[in-house]
Amino acid sequence: MNMIEQLRLSGQLPSPKGVALAIMEISQRDGARLDEVAVARVP
């Protein structure tokens, strides 16, 4: 069984952290601007 199958069966998928999470949060807001994403930082 490969790693992807193991993750799928375990139900413990990795979650985004740091800057990746900040970018995801910005991109979900109405009216998000590219300059906000460009300077995304960890809160």
pLDDT tens track for 1-43:
788 888 778 878 777 888 888 888 888 999 989 888 888 776 5
Residue 3 lies in a domain: no
Residue 2 lies in a domain: no
The pLDDT of residue 18 is 84
| N- to C-terminal Cα separation, the chain | 38
pLDDT score for 30: 92
Q: Is residue 26 part of a domain?
A: yes
Residue 42 maps to a domain: yes
Specify the number of domains making up the chain: 1
**Residue 8: per-residue pLDDT:** 79
In a domain, 24, yes or no: yes
Q: Which structural domain, as residue segments, surrounds residue 23?
A: 14-43
Residues 20, 22: Cα–Cα separation, whole Å: 5
Say if residues 25 and 41 touch (Cβ distance below 8 Å). Answer: no
pLDDT value for 43: 59
4 within domain boundaries: no
